[in-house]
Each structure stands twice: as structure tokens, then as C-alpha cells.
Structure 1
Amino acid sequence: MPSGAVYFNPLQVPLVLPKSPIRISSFVVFNAGETNTQSEKHPGIAEKIELEHQENSFRVELAVMDYALNDMVEFSYQLHGLDDKWVFLGDEKNVDFRNIPHGNYELRIRTRQKNENWSDSAQQMRIEISPPFYLSTFAWFCYVLVFAGIIVTLIFFHIRKVYAEAELRVKKLQMVQHEKLNLERMNFYTNITHELRTPLTLILGPLEDLLQEEKLASKYKNGILMVQKNANRLFSLLNQLLEFRKVESQYKPLVLGEDYLGELVKQIVQKYAEANTNTDLQISCTIEQPDIKTTFDGEIVQLILDNLLSNSCKHTAEGKIEVHLTYEQDNLTTSALICVKDTGCGIEAEHLNKIFERYYQVSKTVSHGTGIGLALVKELVAIHQGKISVKSQPGKGSEFCVRLLTNAVPATPQNNLHISSSNPIETANDLRAVVLLIEDEKDLREYLATVLSVNYEVITAANGLEGFELAKNRIPDLVVSDVMMPDMDGFTMLKKLKELRETSHIPSIFLTAKDTNTDKEMGYVLGVDSYLTKPISPKLLNSRIENLLLKRKTLYTAMLNQLSGDRDDTKVNQPENNPELWQENALVQEFVMLVEACIQDEVLDAATLADKMNMSQSTLYRKLKGLTGKNINQLVRKIRIQKAARLLRSGQYNITEVSLMVGINSAIYFRQCFKEEFGELPSEYQKKVALKTKIAPF
């Protein structure tokens, strides 16, 4: 070989690959398990494939452009946008992709000769998979619109709700204001009525006294009867106006009670029959079937019948007025049918549809009313869930029928205790009962004091505060009081009296024009024993006082039976059988326990007992007198004798020992006291007890 020659080794010459040794030969889309060629061309580097959202599984097939290098080229790929890692394929020329999410991707494919470095450049192809319709731009735009619509709707309804709540608050405020206005109106009418009823009492009371005078000349008597008649008519119109205002302002409640409707109807008709001075007119009541106990509002029934009977009496110069009561029963309800039939002047047919209108009068020359009576009746019937009808013929009379919805209730036996006495009530030791009269109207106070002083010792007060102080100092047997008074009203005064230990037992009567159910309920809750509405009948007032004092006298007996050794504890001591007794029994029991603790002392000083009871001697005296009818000494003696009787019944002591054990050292005085209490001597009592013990069965 010549020097300087260069030798060529073909193995040392590197193999140079072409710039783009591969191409994408085909692009196949898998659709529901089947293959579907989307493109038959060989895409270039910058080409782009667009697919639907369901075409997200596909295959990319590669091809080597130089056949000589077909088995010497290796592949790797990267799907940019899904995974940035390069995936090695080796000499595999097919690339499969499954369930690729929608979006924009770039498929990059690079090559190398086996065991050499990867090429710097890569084959690229853009793939765009469109989203499903519900994730498209238009869909998102719709979503935004819907969401915005929902927000706007919520805001709209929230504003509507705010406005509705504001409107509701305004309506509630208006209702409250309306109720307050109605209450103020009712208070105004009540106050006016109170002011008018007080002078009516001063008119009707003396008139009633004058009519009872036997020496009164007939010509004067007729004049007084006329005055009394018109005063009663004025009183009736006043009540009618007040009730009409109650109904008009919807302040009239329906207060149902259980009673016999027939008895109430008879009482009302009897009242008109007794007051009837027309000899040519007969008033009668007929109940066509046995009376049953039902639920009804007695006040409303009385107002209805009063108006109907008053109209019938007014327009019936002669003939008769008949009141019929019948019951109509079905499986669910019971209705009471009350018919008022008269033989008066009657009503023309053209007026029948208008007589229940307010202030309507058939004839201005004949009618003497205000035209609100029948309108009031119609409203009251509606409140009682009933109906009213009328039939009339001019010259023959009219018939008003009222059907009221009632419910029958099981009848229970009634044990009515009627106590009657023609003599004034007297307390123990024949002392006259003390009545405290509280009335702010001077003339009425003086008149009632004169009327009551015939039978009772009367002390008077001008207002509730003065009456309260008098009640504390004098401890009267009964309090008669007005309600509306300066300084302290009747309700406040009664509440204070019931809170005091010394005066809690005193019965009370309220004289007032405030006769609404609310006022009555308040009074009865506080402990009022009776209500009398102005104008007041002196005879009725005396009867009510007499009954209350008689009732108090029965409480004396029940209270003293508590001290008796023969009392039946299973009956007398039950609070539900005698609630008034148990209300005051604690003080008497405390006094009894105090006396029994010191019973062996011969002298039990009243001042000492009062001091231990934390009361003054005079207050304790009046309190025990009001509860038991006995003074302190009489009560102490009774406790001693009752204790002695229990000791004798035990059979462990003789009479002398028992006398000393109860603090009576004189045997003669002990026998005298024992006989006054039991009607027999201690020895006779002891023998009788011993005999009963011997013959008692085992």
C-alpha cells in the first residue's frame, strides 16, 4: 500500500435517517364495537382531526416511509393534554386510545434506530374531541341563564315575601288598633251606661218604695206607675242600645252553658205576665214536650225573648201572647224552636223583608221604639248559630220563630236547696249583721244606706280605698260595693281584701253597670259572690244579702263540725265538697291547735291567744266571729268540751280527771258546759259510750 493512502471502512460510516422517516397511514375510530375509518389519507404534520364526543376511542396506524428501515425503527408517543409522559412502542406501528375525555390534544410521535438516541423532532397531529351537548358552550350559556333566572326568581319571591309580611304586619296592627278602638267604644258606652243607670236606680228605687205604701192615694199611685213604667222602658232601651253596640262591634261572645232552656223561657214569660197590667191581654208559655238539658247562651236567649215579648206587648192591645218551646232532634244535633205568637195589629207583607234592618220602623205613628230591637234579635240569633222567621197577617197578629242550635247533654239530678226567711239575718247573740256599703255616688249611697239600715247595721264609704280601710278595721259581715270608683276600683279593693288574712272570708256583692262577661269573669275569679246590675231593686238587694248571710251561717255549722269528735271526715273534710270552708279552715285549725296545746291552763287569755296568732285581739275576735259565729271565749270553751268528749270516749279516765285535763277545775261548771254542748251530763254520756262499746259486734 502506498504511503499516504487513506482507507475507507464502510462500517464506520454512520447511517443517516431521513428527516421524517414515518407517516400516519390511517386514523380509525371505534364506534360501539365496530371500526369506522374516518380518514383514509395520510395526515401531515400540521393537520387536525375533529371528533364527536362519542368518538373518543380510536387507533392511529403508523408507517415507515423507507422500506429498508422498516424493521430497524422504534416508536414512542405522547398524547399532550392527557399525559406528558412518553410511551415506548418498540416496533409496534399501531397506537390505540380508549375513552379519551373531550378536549384538545396533540399526538406527538418520535422515532429512533434501534439502540440509538431518539430523534429531536417528532411527528405531530392535533386531535379535537368536541364535548357532549350538555357540556357545550351553548349548554353552559343556558345553564347560566337558568341559574340567573332562579336567582332572580328567588329574589323576586323574597321581595314579595317581605312585602307580604309587611302587609300582614300592617293588617295585624290595624286589627289590634281596631280591637282597641272597639274596646274604647265599649268602655265609652259602658261608662255612659254606668252614669245613666245610677240616676235610674235613684228613680226606680224610691218609686218601688212608694208603690208599697198602702196609704198612697190611687190617683198618685197611677201617676207613680206611669213614671215607673217609663223609667223601666228607658232602662230597657239603654240595655238594648248597649247590647246592639256589642253585637255591631263584634264584641258579643257566645258563652255556652248547660241548663234547662224551658225553665229559663218560663221565667222570662212569667216576668212579663206578672208585669202585665192589661186585663184584656193574656200571656202564656207552653212547652210541648219534656224539658231536656241543653247547651245554650242564657244571656242571648233572654235578650231575644225580651225583645220579642216587648214588641208583642207593645202592639197587642187585647187578645193573647203565646210562647211555645219545642225541640227538634236528629242523630247529630238538637235544635230548640221558640215561637212568640200574638194577636196584635200584624205587619203588612211589604214590610216583612225589612223589619230586621237597623232603624227600620213600620209606622212612625204607631211604633214607639228606635228600630233596633229586631235588628239586634237577628244578630243575636246569628251569633247563636240559628235562624229567625216571621209570619204575619194585618189585623190578625204575628208569629216570630227562632230556631237555635243546641246540643243535648245528659240530665243530672238536681238537689235544690231553697232557703226562705221573712226575718232579717242576725249573727250570733242576736246582733245585727254589719254591711259595708261602698258607693261613690252620694245620693245613691245615702238611699241604699237608708234601705239597708232597716235590717242591718250599715257603714258607708265613698271609694274603694276608704272602703278597704273600713273593712280592715271593722271586719263587716258583708261588703256591697260599686265597681267604677275613684282612688281604688272595686276589683282592686276586692283583691286586696282577699289577700288579707283578716278579711279574706267576707262575702261581697258588686253593684255595677259593667255587666259584660269579661267583667263578671274577672270578678268571679277574684271571689265576688254576686253581681247586681244597676238600676238596683231594693227588694232584690235585700234578698241577695239575706241569702249570702244564710249561706255564711251554714258555713258556721260546717266549720264548727270540724271541731266535733263525731264529725265524718270522709265527707266534711273533702275540699271539693266544701271549698269555701277549706279556704278559711287553716286559721281555725291553727287556733284549735293553739288552744289544745294550752288546754290544761284554767285561764286562756284572749290577748295571749291573739298575740300567738300574730293578730290583734279585736281582729282575731271579728275573724273567728265571721268564720264560726262564736267569739273567742265561746270557741275556747267548745274546744275544751270536745276534747273532754274524746277523752271520755277513750274509757281511760273518769269525769274528774277529764275535767282537770281540759283546764276546767270546777266540776259543776264542767257538767254545765258539757250539757250545753251535748244535751246530757258527762256521766250519762260516758254510760252511753260504754254501752255502745259492750254491744258493738266483733
Structure 2
Amino acid sequence: REQAYAAEKERELYRDKVEFFTTIAHEIRTPLSLIDIPLEAIEENGIDDPKTSDYLKVMRQNTRRLLHLSRELLDFGKLDSHMLITKKEFFDMSALVSETAERFGPAMDLNGKDLEVDVSNEKLMVFSDKEAVTKILSNLFNNALKYASKNIRVVLKESEGIVAVSVSSDGTKITEKERNLIFEPFYQSEGNAEKKNGVGIGLPLARQLAAVLGGNLVLDNDDSLLNTFTFTFPVGNAEKEDISVADADKDNYVLDEESNQTKLRSSGYHVLVVEDNESIRHLLRDQLSKNFIIDTASNGVVALDKLKKSRVDLVVTDIMMPEMDGMELCRRVKEDPDLSSIPIVFITAKNDLDSKVRGLQMGAEAYIDKPFSIKYLTQTVKSLLENRRRERESFSKKPFFNVDSIQTNKADEEFVKKCMDAITEHLQEEDFNVESLCDILAMSRSNLLRKIKAIFNMSPSELIRLVKLKKAAELIQDGRYRIGEICEMIGISSPSYFSKLFFKQFDITPKAFEKQCQEKRRDLAQNNV
């Protein structure tokens, strides 16, 4: 009886602690945010006195640390009260582990830690809560960063429908006595007292999140000198969640169990953040990574190199930077035929009218003053990318949506005109293909692919086919030609193949489309009588 009473008292104390910390976390987030934004603005404007500058840096670092801790406390409170609602989606676990390792890379280097990542290049598609998995991985990486002496190794495996991520690190070996205690809320290891800088909720939070996912987080019991944490969870079954297995390839859709609807998610967009201030760069990366796939660069030179090597959908850049500033980066991007279609958003404390006008003249799509709201920046980026996506979709799916309706800069306009003129001029040639288009435009196949993909979000062969089908729709609407004649006019010899392509592109057969056009002509004629 005494044991039961003591256990109940311990549970009450634990619940009181969680409730207390959760309440405090709610209360401190607003004033912390109001401190952080002015500090950022002051730091960006520059301080002549080095000592004052150092004080500001320390203040901002600790403000962000408190904001991070308050967020973890709120998550922990939600878990304890079973209020955390999971959002399941299909995602590539291999890519997520690699991205998390890349995110921690600079911190590992700065702290003299060697990070080895053993992840297959092949996709490992899982159906789970990506945000929860990311939190668990981040906690394990952060724990290893804090307590490892030198070496950290991450291994990802999958066997019989179970995913396992192991994070091993050297350093002080966790004792047998502490093996389970470290997963208790608010516990701090005695052996690592000199490295304490948290409140002891990282590992408990990670373990409870693992349980929510139907998995587990344990400290492996082996004889090695390493501390190895292993996180396991099921690959997931879409059929059990009332989702078609065919949706497994739709990486940009997510299931919200609360509403039980699939919604478009912007996480498939790649955004490059260019900022020379490491703290601001990391803050933007952390905040924007909730919605986008983020890469970073410390100045325009590094950014330009990354843009030429990998796919980027949008650039968010500061203006004042060493080596190459944001204005010069924007000019270079907009003058490069291969990159000119990438939207650019300026975020800067240099908010005078002349700078804004100059930035827009350079071709930038948006200009945001510091201090700014992360929500506003996120929504600006989302709106720019989603508007482009809708325009491309309309161009692809609507027979009479004109290419001129797609927003492009001057350099892209010239390219689009040359491209469309070349295809239209050779419309009747059945053997006109990508190589033919490359020859006319004097471009390599890879450059043509990259350019057309950036502007239209399709391959050159898909664009050639679309232009032919749009011309066919015009001719059908005109009403003077039979379907067989139209096939010859657009260089497609088989009417059945043409019908199949037309239906796949516009979700209507040529016959049904012809009937639709005839009815519209009749209605128009009657109205004019």
C-alpha cells in the first residue's frame, strides 16, 4: 500500500511538473518573440562597439534557445495529455536521414565532431508522421553532438517492415543504472554534468513520439564503448489508413487524420536561403524547413555555384553580404538563361525606397523588410510557388490557356517565343523531336531539359506533344476539319493514338470536345440572332 501511495504521489508530482512547465512555456513565448525580433533588427543594422555586438549575439543565442525549449515543452505537454495529432504522409526515409545529417553538419564541424552516415542511395518510402520522425532524429543528433567526444555514426536499415535508425557516439559511457533513467522527464545524467544545457526532456519526448508512431526508442545494451540509441518504427500501410496504394508515389500529398482529407503540401519545393549571418541563416533554415526543403549559402558566390549544380525552385536572399551581395546575385541569376526563371525574394534591413526599386528592376519577385514575420515570409514564398504551379497546370490541362499567361521575365519570354515558334513551324513533321528542337535553338539536350522544366515543369518531349494537342484543340474548335485531317496537320498519323493522347492531356476525348465546341457555336449563333 505504501509503495502504491508513493508511486501515485510521484505521478502527481510528474504531472504537476509537466503542467507547470507547459503553462510557463505558453506565457514566455510571446515576450521572447518580441525580444528576439528587435534584437535581430539591431544586430542587422550593425553595432560599432565590438563588446556591445558580442552582448547582442549572446542575447539572441539564448533567446532562440529559450524559444526552442518552450516549443519542446509544449510538445511534451501535448504528448502527456494525448493531444498531439499525427499527420501521416509518404516520404523517403533515406532522404530525411541524409537531410537531417546535412542540417547538423556545420555544428558538427564547429564542435570538432566527425559524423559518418550509412544510408542507402535507394529510396526507402514510409507512411508515417514526418514531423514526428524529424523531431526524434533531431533529438538523437543533438544528443550525440552534445555528448560525443569525437565520433558519431548513423545507420539506417529496414527489415520485415520495420525501419531502424541507430545513432552511435563515443564519449562517457552511460551506466547500467542510468540506462532507463535517461528516458525519465527532467532527468540529467550525472556523468555529463559539465555539459548540461537543457531541462531533460529531449530523450523522453523522442521516446514518447516513437510510441505514438507505434515504434520504440532504446539505448542498446552492448559491450562496446559506444552509446547507441536505436529508433524503430513500422514502414506503415496505406491501405489500413484508407489511402490508395497508388498515392505512394505522390510525395507532395499528406494525410491529415483529423480531417481525413488529402491536402497539397509545399514541402516538395526546394528553397535556397542565402544569408551571411550564421545565426539568421540557421534560424531561417529551421523555420522554413517546416514547409520546404531548405539548402543554405553564406553569400552570392556559394549560392550561384549551388544553383548551377542542383534544382532550386526559389531563392530567399539577404542583400548586404561579402564577396557577392544579393543584388549582384539577382542580376547574375536573371541574366543566366538556365537560371532566369527562378523567383528571388529579398529579405533585408536595407529598406530604403531606392534599394526596393533597384531590387525589383533587377527582376526580384518580392522584397521583405526586416524585422519580418516568419509567417509572412513563408506565405509569400508559398504564394509565389503555388501561383507558378497553378499557371503551369492550367497551361498543361486547359486547351486554350495561352503560354503568354505564364508569368516570365524578359529573358524567359524570348526563349519561350523561340521555342514555341520552332515547334509550331514543324507541327506537321511526325519525326520532329527533342534533338530537332535542340538543333534549332542551338542548345544541348541537358540545358534544354533544365530550361523547359524550370518554366513549364515538363520535359521537352512533353512540351512538343502539348503544343501539337493545343493546336489540335484550336482546329477542332474551328469546326472546318475532320479528326483524321487534324491528325495529319499536327504530325500524328494514328487517330486512335491521337485520341488517347488528347484524353490523357485534357480529360476529354476529341469527339466529346468536338461536340462541346459545336454546342457552344450553336448557342452563340442563337444569341446573335
Smaller-chain TM-score bracket? 0.3 to 0.5
TM-score by length of 1: 0.37
More strand by share: 1
Q: Higher Cα Rg: structure 1 or 2?
A: 1
More helix by share: 2
